[in-house]
Amino acid sequence: MDQVPSLRLNTRGEIPVIGFGTWQLSPEDAYSSVIEALEVGYRLIDTAKIYGNEEAVGEAVRNSKIPRQEIFLTTKLWNSDHGYDSALKAFDASLKRLGQDYVDLYLIHWPGDDRQRRADSWTALRDLYKEGRSKAIGVSNYTVRHLQELLDSTDTPPAVNQIEFHPFIYHEQKELLDFCEAEGIIFEAYSPLARGRRSDPLLEERGAKYGKSTSQVMLRWALQHGTVPLPRSADEGHIRENFEVFDFELSSVDMEAIDKINQTDRTAWNPTNLP
Ligand SMILES: NC(=O)c1ccc[n+]([C@@H]2O[C@H](COP(=O)([O-])OP(=O)(O)OC[C@H]3O[C@@H](n4cnc5c(N)ncnc54)[C@H](OP(=O)(O)O)[C@@H]3O)[C@@H](O)[C@H]2O)c1
**Whole-number pLDDT of residue 264:** 66
List the chain residues with pLDDT less than 70. Answer: 1-2, 264-265
Question: What tens digit of pLDDT does each residue of 190-238 get?
Answer: 999 999 888 899 999 999 999 999 999 999 999 999 999 999 999 999 9
Is there a catalytic annotation at residue 31? no
CA atoms in the 13 A half-sphere facing the CB of 234: 11
As beta bridge partners, residue 55 has: none
**Whole-number pLDDT of residue 273:** 77
List of domains in the chain: 6-198+221-235 (3.20.20.100)
What percentage of the chain reaches a pLDDT higher than 90?
91
Stretch (H or E) spanning 84: helix 84-98
Looking only at the bridges linking them, the beta strands covering 6-8 and 186-190 are: unpaired
Distance (angstroms) between ligand 1 centre and the Cα of 208 equals 22
**Whole-number pLDDT of residue 1:** 62
The residue from 42, 51, 142, 170 that is catalytic is 51
**CB of 48 within 8 A of CB of 80?**
no
Ligand 1 pocket residues where CB is under 6 Å? 21-24, 46, 109, 140-141, 162, 190-196, 213, 215, 230-235, 238, 241-242, 268
Question: What tens digit of pLDDT does each residue of 148-162 get?
Answer: 999 999 999 999 999
Question: What tens digit of pLDDT does each residue of 111-128 get?
Answer: 999 999 999 999 999 999
Provide DSSP, 156-192: S--SEEEEE-SGGGHHHHHHHHHHHHHHT-EEEEEST
Query: What is d(CA 236, CA 40) in angstroms, rounded to the nearest whole number?
Result: 10
